[in-house]
Structure 1
Amino acid sequence: MNQNLPLYHIFNCVAENENISRAAKQLFISQPAVSKAISNLEESLQVTLFIRNSRGVKLTDEGKLLYEHTRIAFDALSKAEENIIRIHDLGIGHLRIGASTTLCKYLLLPYLDGFVKENPHIKITIDNQSSSHTLKQLENCTLDIGLVAKPENGDAFHFLSLDEIEDIFVATHTYLNNLTLRENSSDIFSNANIMLLDESNVTRKYVDQYFKSNNIEPKHVLEISTMDLLIEFAKTSLGVACVIKAFVESELREGTLVQIPVTPQLNKREVGFCYSKNAYLSDSMHKFMDYIRKSS
């Protein structure tokens, strides 16, 4: 069939025009070339497709059957071309982004607000999940891009840094005052309720590594599922929470929470957009990356 595709195109044009001369002009080839193509197709199919007369050609029954199929096929191709042109002209596309609840709320949404206004025809899908899960999906190319802390495996990803984040320990004045009254020691890791994200979280793994490197063993650990809940639990005087400083700036400024100095401090971490080096970069991805670079 593949070798007959050019012949089907010529056949379809002749059938629509019912005239070999007009078809030749439309196809920008010679009249003998059109006649030869029809003869070759008839020979290949072992049927007669046209009846020649003084005014042109008429389809035989076999020719009518073949034309029903070629017309549908070439109409479908024409519609496909029109849709592709429309998609290109309107900037229609789809972008799949992975981000944790915390990064989605505090960092991703401000970027998306401006991007969607500039590219209203790009569909955005947000996969709200842990950063570790996002990285796995990026490796498998089931996501286009993720907003994560800079991955340790830099060889597998491209990483566009947006900012640095700083992990700190916070609590209310009330909790710290009550803790001082109850305990003689000033070691918060031995006496306080230390509230952390759950063990599967990338931030938690980073904090656990900090504890291990500095021989710190918290005695009372409470695991909280999200950063927002962690902040709220700290504000209700349930314990000392390890949070990202940028996300509690207003609470620190207003005195709702206070930062607890620790030695050594946790090193700052980079956070940014990440995508696999093996990923296919769609037009939507190029537009998003251009917007991020322009906005950063």
Structure 2
Amino acid sequence: MDQNLSLYKVFYTVANTGNISKAAAELFISQPAISKSIRKLEQNLEVTLFSRNSRGVQLTEEGEILYDYVQKAFYSLQLGEAQLKKINELGVGHLRIGVSTTLCKYVLLDYLKEFTIAHPHIRMTIECQSTNHTLQLLRENKIDLGLIGRPERLHHVRFASVGEIEDIFVSTKSYLENLALRTSQQDDILRTSALMLMDKENITRQYIDDYLSLHHIENNNVLEVSAMDLLIEFAKIGLGVACVIRQFVAQELKEGTLVEIPLEIPIHKREIGFAYLADFQANPAIREFIDFYRNRS
């Protein structure tokens, strides 16, 4: 569009009022300015848009054609303005969150339950994948927030902590008793058991691999699982020793369904939190969620 939008605004107003003086009053500009704008638009388009009559002005055939398109354009702008007003008044928006299946179930759901009550008009999209993939989507602006374990490097990503999690090894008492029957009492459980871990794409697995390597713990009988829930369930049926997050098996530990494997050197706790880009203010829904999280904390 080569023409200045203000020229089309003048054209649209004159066409609607059918009178230059009325258009001038509506736009708060002088009649000569209105006439000048119409002439300039006609010169640029090389057509006559209005014909004068005793009652004012009337669209020509060419003017009618242009008016149909200009009317649709201004109607679209009005719809856009109305939608923005609705967003501001009702808190309508769209929030895209990336999170692992585990953190979604055990952490995010608790936040969303309260947030959706306070902001029922904000639409949610939840994408479940690994922390590494979540960070990638965040940097590509394909999601707005990520609930992740704190990475070593953030690279222009802000991180708001929600607390710490602790990795532990668990099993059933019966599995440990059977393991003791077929191995020496001196053997390390983590070396001789069927060891169940998250798959290698998961940041938890990478963290545990670092721990095992640092303490020279090797196990050739590793079962890889893609979800923490499955690790917990496999451990509960006595399939082996699973590395899980303490907070997520608190009830099983309390009831004795699972028992914790004591470690000579405990695994360091990890921080989890919401990651978001520095310019999050551009999306009102993100701002609402961050404010909600901060007030909740």
TM category (shorter chain) comes to over 0.9
How far apart, CA to CA, are the structure 2 residues paired with 1:230 and 1:241? Answer: 6
Corresponding residue for residue 273 of structure 1: 274
Render the CA deviation track for 1:193-252: whole Å, top value 9, x for unaligned: 111111111111111100111111124222222111111111111111111000111111
SS of the residue aligned with 1:154?
Answer: coil
Which residue identity is paired with 2:161?
A: S
Q: Return the offset for 1:4.
A: 4.1
Assess if the C-alpha contact under 8 Å between 1:189 and 1:219 holds in 2.
no
Total equivalences in the alignment:
296
How far apart, CA to CA, are the structure 2 residues paired with 1:184 and 1:42? Answer: 97
Corresponding residue for residue 205 of structure 1: 206
Corresponding residue for residue 73 of structure 1: 73
Matches within 5 A, 1:141-220: 141-186=141-186, 187-220=188-221
Corresponding residue for residue 17 of structure 1: 17
Which residue identity is paired with 1:96?
A: R
Corresponding residue for residue 50 of structure 2: 50
The answer for unaligned runs of 5 or more in structure 2 is none
SS of the residue aligned with 2:105?
Answer: helix
Q: Return the offset for 1:282.
A: 0.9
2:218 corresponds to 1:228:
no
Corresponding residue for residue 63 of structure 2: 63
How far apart, CA to CA, are the structure 2 residues paired with 1:140 and 1:20? Answer: 50
How far apart, CA to CA, are the structure 1 residues paired with 2:32 and 2:165? Answer: 74
Q: Return the offset for 1:132.
A: 1.7
TM-score, normalised by the number of residues in structure 1: 0.94
SS of the residue aligned with 2:155?
Answer: helix
How far apart, CA to CA, are the structure 2 residues paired with 1:61 and 1:220? Answer: 83
TM-score, normalised by the number of residues in structure 2: 0.94
Mean Cα deviation higher: 59-68 or 112-121: 59-68
Q: 1:281 to 1:31 in 2, by over 3 A?
A: closer
Corresponding residue for residue 285 of structure 1: 286
How far apart, CA to CA, are the structure 1 residues paired with 2:249 and 2:291? Answer: 30
Mean Cα deviation higher: 28-37 or 93-102: 28-37
Root mean square deviation of aligned Cα:
1.7
Q: Return the offset for 1:58.
A: 2.1
Assess if the C-alpha contact under 8 Å between 1:52 and 1:58 holds in 2.
yes
Which residue identity is paired with 2:159?
A: F
SS of the residue aligned with 2:21?
Answer: helix
The answer for unaligned runs of 5 or more in structure 1 is none
Q: Return the offset for 1:280.
A: 6.7
How far apart, CA to CA, are the structure 1 residues paired with 2:41 and 2:289? Answer: 49
Assess if the C-alpha contact under 8 Å between 2:159 and 2:273 holds in 1.
yes
Corresponding residue for residue 242 of structure 2: 241
Mean Cα deviation higher: 10-19 or 251-260: 10-19
SS of the residue aligned with 2:151?
Answer: coil
Matches within 5 A, 1:90-169: 90-169=90-169
Mean Cα deviation higher: 189-198 or 259-268: 189-198
Render the CA deviation track for 1:31-66: whole Å, top value 9, x for unaligned: 222222222223333333222233212222222222
Assess if the C-alpha contact under 8 Å between 1:170 and 1:257 holds in 2.
yes
SS of the residue aligned with 2:159?
Answer: strand
